[in-house]
Amino acid sequence: MTRYLTQKERFSLQKLLEETLEEHGEFVRFKDDWDDGKIAVKLAIATHTVKNTRQATFGKLWKREGAPATATRIIALEAQVAQLQTQMAKLENTFLIDFGGTSTNGETKLCL
pLDDT tens-digit profile of 83-95? Answer: 999 999 888 888 7
pLDDT at 66: 53
Q: How many Cα atoms are found within 13 Å in the side-chain-facing hemisphere of 25?
A: 7
Within a domain: 76:
yes
What is the predicted pLDDT for the residue at 9?
95
Is residue 2 domain-resident?
no
My answer on whether 81 and 47 are in the same domain is: no
Say yes or no: 34 and 76 in one domain: no
Question: Which residue positions in the chain have pLDDT lower than 50?
Answer: none
Please tell me the predicted confidence (pLDDT) of residue 33.
87
Query: Which range of residues forms the domain containing residue 40?
Result: 7-58
pLDDT recorded at residue 41 = 96
For the chain, how are helix, strand and coil distributed in percent, rounded to 5? 60, 15, 25
pTM assigned to the model = 0.55
Residues 44 and 72 in one domain: no
12 and 51 belong to one structural domain: yes
The answer on 48 and 14 residing in a single domain is yes
Distance CA 89, CA 81 (A): 12
Whether residues 51 and 73 fall in one domain: no
Residue 47 confidence (pLDDT): 94
